[in-house]
Each structure stands twice: as C-alpha cells, then as structure tokens.
Amino acid sequence: MAAHVAQITAPASTAGGQPVLLSVLATGTLPVQYEWFEGGLGDTSKPLGINASSWSASPAATTSYWVRVTNSCGVDSAATTVTVTQSCALAFVSQPSSPTAIAGAQVVISALASGAPPVLYQWFASTNGGPWEPVTGEESSSLTIVADTTTSYYVRASNGCTTINSAVATLTVLPPCVPPSLTSAPQDVSTSEGAPVHLAAVAAGSETLHYEWFVSVDSVSYSSAGTAAALDVVADFTPHYYFIRVTNDCGG
C-alpha cells in the first residue's frame, strides 16, 4: 500500500519563538520515510533534515511547513501553516553603566529590555570576583544601592518565552571624602629687598587637593598669585600679605 498522509497537525497560532509540535499521521506499507520542509507545498528549497513523524519548531514569524512521506509503493505530501500572533523577541535597548561613588553615597544602576510583555527583571551581584547572587527585592529595571564595597552587577530579563542577561556593570567605591586641612601653614618672613622668598604649605585630605595663593598689599583686596603648594617671590620694600586656600571635592 502506498504511503498516504492521513492527517497533519500543528497549532493554528502561537507567540513568536515559542516551541510548537508538528506531527503527521501516515498510513501505508512500512517502513515510511519522512521529509519536512519549510515553505509552501512542493517547495524543496528549505529542507529541515528531519526524518520523523513529529518534531518541534520555534517560528519567529508566520511560517508554512510541509511533509513528504514515502515508502516502497509511493509518495504523498501535506502542508500546514503556523501563524505567529506576537513576537517573543527580547533585547536590551539600554545597558547598565559602571559608576564610581564615594562610600555611603546612593547609586542607581539601570537597564531596559524591550520585547513582548510582561518583561520581568532580576538583578545579580558579585563582590570581589565571588559567586553571582540574586539581589533580594530588586526586580525592576533599575537598582538602587548604597555604595559600600566595589561590586559587579548584571540584570536578567525574561518575558515567559525567552531570557537574556545584560552586560556587567561594576560599581567602584572610593573611600569617604576627607576635607582638606593644613598640617603646615606658611610662616611670616622678614628679609631684605631683592631677596628670594619661598612660601610653602602642606595639606592633608582626600585627593585631589587644589592649591591657590592670594596676595595683597593692604590686607584688604587680594588677587590670585599661584596654584601650587609652594610660591616663590622676590621681596621688595612694600609689605605683602599672602594666604593659601586648599580645596577638594568635599570642602576647603
């Protein structure tokens, strides 16, 4: 008895990327060989290389399939179409960035994935190269943390039919900022006209320290005189008044 397709079955519709089962019921003298193709009935340009009565496909768009069944007595074929009603694709349109913050500061790291809803998020963290652990309670597209230890993060996005991971972002934590303080202040100098005078100060505090000297001849109106920790001047008969200002990111 010649091979004959008694029935071909597949879901009428599905979300894109979801697995669907295609199957065929064939009758005829055994053994029966199966050849599946993508495309319209009779189009052999896209053979799928499947010799089985059933298999699983995951079409991203509406796709037609057909099967040819063959035995020693003859050949038969039938086709079916799987309609994709919704794309299931998921991709990050915004990746998390790697911030730098002072210990104790509040930091927000965010990412955004686009795809078929609902899109769910779960953040993961790794400290000092340790294992990745889920961040408890952080299930949105943004992560709010208080800077404590340099830590790497990524977010996993899923929408029920696929899961993707973002790029890794590393939060670099700097020591708390210490305002500058003078540990050695410039001293008064008495000297002769034309003599070189070296004025210097030493300051402590968080980097980077910025220095600026100011000078006045009446101790009322001052103007900038230099931007280094030391200042070299030449004395004259007019008294000059100097002071230095040291600043950093957290004070002066």
The mean predicted confidence, pLDDT, of the chain is 89
CB contact at 8 A, 213 and 225: yes
More reliable by pLDDT, 137 or 60: 137
Q: What is the pLDDT of residue 191?
A: 86
Nearest Cα to Cα of residue 19 among 161, 165, 163, 158: 161
Per-residue model confidence as pLDDT tens digits over 141-178:
999 999 999 999 999 999 877 899 999 999 999 888 88
Per-residue model confidence as pLDDT tens digits over 122-137:
999 999 889 999 999 8
- Name the CATH code of domain 90-174 (choices 3.40.50.150, 2.60.40.10, 3.40.190.10, 3.40.1190.10): 2.60.40.10
Residues sharing a CB contact under 8 Å with residue 4, sequence separation 6 or more, in sequence order: 26, 27, 28, 69, 74, 76
Per-residue pLDDT at 192 exceeds 90? no
CB contact at 8 A, 107 and 134: no
Neighbours of 180 (CB within 10 A): 19
What CATH number was assigned to the domain covering residues 181-247? 2.60.40
Superfamily holding 4-86: Immunoglobulins (2.60.40.10)
- Given this chain, do its domains 4-86 and 181-247 carry the same CATH topology? yes
Nearest Cα to Cα of residue 107 among 118, 123, 121: 123
Q: What is the pLDDT of residue 113?
A: 94
Domain boundaries, the chain: 4-86, 90-174, 181-247
Per-residue pLDDT at 214 exceeds 90? yes
Q: What is the pLDDT of residue 46?
A: 94
Task: Report the predicted TM-score, pTM, of the whole model to 2 decimal places.
Answer: 0.51
CB contact at 8 A, 4 and 28: yes
Beta-strand relationship, 13-15 and 74-86: parallel
Per cent of the chain over pLDDT 90 is: 52
CB contact at 8 A, 213 and 226: yes
Query: Does residue 118 have a cis peptide bond before it, meaning omega lies within 30 degrees of 0?
Result: yes
